[in-house]
Structure 1
Amino acid sequence: DKKLSLYIKPTQDINPKSITIHQIRNIDLVNAISPHEAIAQFLEFIGPLPLVGYYLEFDIAMIERYMRPWLGIRLPNSKIEVSGLYHDKKIKTIPDGFIDLRFDSIMKELGLPIFGKHDAINDAIMTAMIFVKLLHINKI
Structure 2
Amino acid sequence: MYSFGKTGTHSKTPARLTRPEFGYLFAPPPADEWVCLDLEMTGLNPKTDHILSLGAVKISRTHGTFSIDTANALSIICKPPIMPATDTIVIHGLRPMDVADGVSYDEMLAQLLPFLGARPIVGFYTQMDLAFLNALAKPFLGAALPNAAIDVSLLDQKLRKQQNRNPDAPIDRRHLHEMLKTERIPALPAHDSLNDALMTAMLFCQLQHELQAS
Aligned counterparts of 1:100 and 1:61: Cα–Cα separation in 2:
20
Deviation at 1:100, TM superposition (A): 4.8
Of the three residues 93, 97, 106, the one matched with 1:27 is 97
The one-letter code matched in structure 2 to 1:119 is D
Q: CA deviation at 1:7?
A: 1.4
Match of 1:132 among 179, 201, 205: 205
- Residues 1:111 and 2:179 are matched in the alignment: no
- Alpha carbons 2:119, 2:147 under 8 Å: kept: yes
Q: Does structure 2 conserve the Cα–Cα contact (< 8 Å) formed by 1:51 and 1:78?
A: yes
Partner of 1:57: 127
Residues 100 and 106, structure 1, Cα contact 8 Å, conserved in 2:
no
1:79 counterpart = 2:149 = yes
Residue aligned with 1:134, SS: helix
Aligned residue identity for 1:39: L
Unaligned runs of 5+ in 1: none
- Structure 1 or 2: more strand by fraction: 2
Q: Do 2:89 and 2:95's aligned partners in 1 also have CA atoms closer than 8 Å?
A: yes
* Equivalent in 80, 97, 106 of residue 10 of structure 1: 80
Of the three residues 44, 52, 57, the one matched with 2:114 is: 44
Q: Does the C-alpha gap of structure 1 residues 100 and 76 become closer, same or farther in structure 2, counting only changes over 3 Å?
A: closer
Query: Which residue identity lines up with residue 19 of structure 1 in the other structure?
Result: I
Q: Name the stretch that deviates more: 34-43 or 23-32.
A: 23-32
Distance 2:73 2:87 in 1: 27
When structure 1 is superposed on structure 2, of 125-134 and 101-110 the one drifting more is 101-110
The higher-RCO structure (CA 8 Å, 6+ apart) is: 2
1:10-55 per-residue CA deviation (whole Å, 9 max, x = no partner) reads 1112111222222211111232111111111110111222111000
Query: CA–CA distance in 1 between the matches of 2:78 and 2:203?
Result: 27
Match of 1:116, SS state, is: coil
Separation of aligned partners in 1, 2:86 and 2:204: 33
SS at match of 1:91: helix
Task: Map 1:89-104; keep pairs closer than 5 Å.
Answer: 89-94=159-164, 95=167, 96-104=169-177
Segments of 4+ in structure 1 off by > 6 A?
A: none
Q: Deviations over 1:40-95 (max 9, x none)?
A: 11101112221110000111011100111221111111211111111111112233
| TM-score, with length taken from structure 1 | 0.90
User: Per residue, is there more helix in 1 or in 2?
Assistant: 1
TM-score by length of structure 2 reads: 0.61
Number of residues of Structure 1 aligned to a counterpart in Structure 2: 140
Instruction: Point out the more displaced range, 122-131 or 24-33.
Output: 24-33
